Amino acid sequence: MSAQAPLAPAPDRPIPVHPPHPGKPRVVQNSLRARLNRLLLARWVQPGLVLICLVPLGWLLFAAFTDRLGANPAEALIRASGDWALRFLCLTLAVTPARIGLQLPTLARLRRTLGLFVAFYALCHLLAYAWFDMGFEVDEIARDIAKRPFILVGMVAFGLLLPLAATSFNRAVKALGAVRWRILHKAVFGIAVLALLHFYWMRSAKNDVAEVVVYALVLGFFMGWRVRHAWQDRPGREERDAKPAQPAKPAEGQAAA
């Protein structure tokens, strides 16, 4: 029996690599967005957000009753409540860019609650000032407003904030109409400028403006985004405004004129 030649080793075959489907990442992103939108529609989201927004107040009260606010607790309460009003203002202005950029329309549900907490902490800031600094003496408060410009600016910002908070409900939107309601609530940008100026004047007296610069950059970014978005949307808005209104179609069973 003749010897057989050894079998030649089989050539290495390349393992086929299938490229990922080009539409798969987009499908995953859309699925994730859908889940987040459903999550934001859950009933517990709004109560949970309210509890989270009350955490700073709870901490300030706890710190006040346990003597953890430093050597000047009154000043600490006044400043901390004002800081939180400014922080919630930044969060409120961040909702629309996040809603559009992340394509999460249900984020709009959170804007009203955050905006109301801007007014809430601004009211706490005003009450702390009127109580601890002025002893609720109206004459003293009036003289202080006339004497110190940053107090005047803060009062003006708070006065502009009140109608926004009062018209943040569905009945107010229906009573004012959507167009007038939007025009009124654009005052939030003026409030942001006044609040930042109030904060700057207060901190500049002590040569401490580093935190003011941070808030200025954050608010400037959100306001700049709004201007850019409005400019980009202008052609479409002009086209919609120029388009003639279509006559209403007669209802079923009703003869057309």
User: Which tokens go with 85?
Assistant: 């009003």
φ and ψ of 66, to 5 deg: -105, 10
| 158: in domain | yes
User: Which tokens go with 140?
Assistant: 């003293």
Prediction pTM value: 0.80
Give the model's pLDDT for residue 242.
52
Percent of residues in the chain assigned helix, strand, coil, to nearest 5 = 75, 0, 25
User: Which tokens go with 236?
Assistant: 């479409």
From the list 48, 63, 185, the residue with the least C-alpha distance to 119 is 185
Residue 121's pLDDT band, with cuts at 50, 70 and 90, is very high
For 34, the enclosing helix (H) or strand (E) is helix 24-40
| 38: in domain | no
| 37: in domain | no
| 13: in domain | no
Contact 160, 194 (CB under 8 A): yes
| 61: in domain | yes
Domains identified in the chain, total number: 1
Q: Give whole-number Cα distances, 193 to 85, 153, 185, 210, 220, in Å.
A: 13, 10, 14, 17, 9
C-alpha to C-alpha distance for 149 and 156, rounded to whole angstroms: 11
| 129: in domain | yes
Which residues, including other chains, have CB under 8 Å from residue 35's CB and lie 6 or more apart? none
Q: What is the pLDDT of residues 35-87, one digit of tens each?
A: 999 999 999 999 999 999 999 999 999 999 999 999 999 999 999 999 999 99
**Is pLDDT at 219 greater than 90 in this prediction?**
yes
Give the model's pLDDT for residue 31.
86
Domain that holds residue 66: 47-233
C-alpha to C-alpha distance for 53 and 179, rounded to whole angstroms: 29
